[in-house]
Amino acid sequence: MLALLFCCSLALHGCDSAEKGGAQQTTVEEMKETVQAPAFNPDSAYALIAKQVAFGPRVPNTAAHEATGEWIVAKLKGYGLEVKEQRFQMEAYNGTTLNLRNIIASINPGAANRVLLAAHWDTRPLADKDEKEPNTPIDGANDGASGVGVLLEIARTIKEAQLKPDVGVDMIFFDGEDYGQPDNSGLSYKDDTWCLGSQYWSKNKHVPNYRAKYGVLLDMVGAENARFAREGHSMQFAREIVNKVWKAGNKIGYSDYFKYVNAPAIIDDHYYVNRVGNIRMIDIIEYNMNNPDDYFGPYHHRHTDNMDVISKNTLKAVGQTLLHVLYNE
């Protein structure tokens, strides 16, 4: 849909004088008529998260991981997206060879103007922050499954909707994000042990010379009362995109979630997409504003990261905000 421009002060003051007036100047952005995006269904997103968790922990080199990858591909194809898979191997911090798979899906593949959405679909092989059973894998309902659930539900919503966004949408489901070196591994610190799938993709795009206007990464976007702050690398690489998304979230009623608060920079998939892949990407990631000792929520890398932490209200806030952004590009 073409953005409809109108000059709101024309009738009262005449366009020229209003513009020269400075204080009354209206930016082009504000003069665009807002497109109403279709409704994001949080019940459906919740079910898509529960389904992933039911496979068991999605740890690379396990049957549950393989089966979940197949399921994500089948879901995307079922929603009419064009799907590409990247299978590759990388070595983990502890020397294990990981069999990994990035999944890339496209809506409206012919559109030149594109937005890239991302989430990681693997789960951490350990619960290294948990006092109990720190060496067994976690459900990763929030850390992993929530972002995937929101993306799949966005794909389903666009498929079902009569009105489509003008912009093309690509979705990347990164593998091997959460196999990073634990703090207490006893090994000397190694760089670049997290985010293996995004490191691979950033060097080996699924399409040569792939370009997107910008990207949005979702990580831990499902916990009850989640707060999303302006993360440091997102601000450093893509401040205007943070502003755009936060403005959208606040405008449509989710000011409890999208906070105008700055948070420290973290290494997450968006870091490699920005630094190595040369595509600006922000991270929507929960920030625990009340705990100076831990960036993340109390369930993080613990066995409590299960379906009990997932809130449909949070899923709705994130999913509806992203749909609003896509439909207004």
If one asks whether residue 267 binds ligand AHN (CB under 6 A), the answer comes out as yes
Q: Does 305 bind ligand AHN (CB under 6 A)?
A: no
Residue 143 binds Zn ion (CB under 5 A): yes
Decide if residue 174 touches ligand AHN (CB under 6 A): no
Check if the beta carbon of residue 65 is closer than 8 Å to that of residue 137: no
User: Could you say whether residue 143 binds ligand AHN (CB under 6 A)?
Assistant: yes
Q: How far is the CB of 180 from ligand AHN (least distance, A)?
A: 6
Classify the phi-psi angles of 144: left when phi > 0, otherwise alpha if psi is within -120 to 50, otherwise beta. left
Q: How far apart are CA 193 and CA 179, in angstroms?
A: 7
Q: Whole-angstrom Cα distance, residue 45 to residue 157?
A: 10
Q: Does position 268 bind ligand AHN by CB under 6 A?
A: yes
Q: Could you tell which of ligand AHN, Zn ion, none binds residue 194, using a CB distance below 5 to 8 A set by kind?
A: ligand AHN
Least distance from ligand AHN to the Cβ atom of residue 22, Å:
44
Task: Establish how many alpha carbons lie within 13 A of residue 318's alpha carbon, considering only the half-sphere containing its beta carbon.
Answer: 37
Q: Does 268 bind Zn ion (CB under 5 A)?
A: no
110, 216, 262, 283 from 239: Cα distances, Å: 28, 12, 11, 11
Task: With contacts defined by CB under 6 A, name the span among 2-10, 129-137, 250-258, 266-274 that binds ligand AHN.
Answer: 266-274
130 binds ligand AHN (CB under 6 A): no
- Choose one: 77-85, 122-130, 230-238, 273-281; the region binding Zn ion (CB under 5 A): 122-130
Closest distance of CB 245 from ligand AHN, Å: 18
Among residues 69 and 147, whose Cβ is nearest to ligand AHN?
147
The option from Zn ion, ligand AHN, none interacting with 127 (CB < 5 to 8 A, set by class) reads none
Site string for ligand AHN, 193-232 (x = CB under 6 A): -x------------------------x-------------
Q: Which is nearer to ligand AHN, 158 or 220 (CB)?
A: 220
Question: In whole angstroms, what is the distance from residue 46 CA to residue 111 CA?
Answer: 30
Instruction: Tell me how far CA of residue 79 lies from CA of 63, 161, 319, in angstroms.
Output: 25, 12, 17
- The residue range among 24-32, 151-159, 263-271, 318-326 that interacts with ligand AHN, by the rule CB under 6 A, is 263-271
In degrees rounded to 5, what are phi and psi of residue 82?
-85, 125
Counting contacts by CB under 6 A, is residue 93 touching ligand AHN? no
Identified binder of Zn ion from the candidate list 130, 139, 153, 178, rule CB under 5 A:
178
Instruction: For the CB of residue 47, give the shortest distance to ligand AHN in the complex, in Å.
Output: 22
Task: Scan residues 205-264 and list those touching Zn ion (CB under 5 A).
Answer: none
> How many residues are present in the chain?
329
Phi, psi (degrees; rounded to nearest 5) at 44: -65, -40
Is the Cβ of residue 124 or residue 244 nearer to Zn ion in the bound state?
A: 124
| CA–CA separation, 184 and 181 (whole Å) | 8
What three-state secondary structure class fits 166? coil
The two structure tokens encoding residue 67 = 């089966």
Nearer to ligand AHN among residue 175 and residue 178 (C-beta):
178
Each as own residue / partner, the long-range contacts of residues 240-248 (CB below 8 Å, 24 or more positions apart, any chain) are 241/214, 241/216, 241/280, 241/281, 241/282, 242/282, 244/325, 245/216, 245/282, 245/284, 245/321, 245/322, 245/325, 248/321, 248/324, 248/325, 248/328
Interface ranges with Zn ion (CB under 5 A): 124, 143, 178
Interface ranges with ligand AHN (CB under 6 A): 143, 178, 194, 219, 266-268
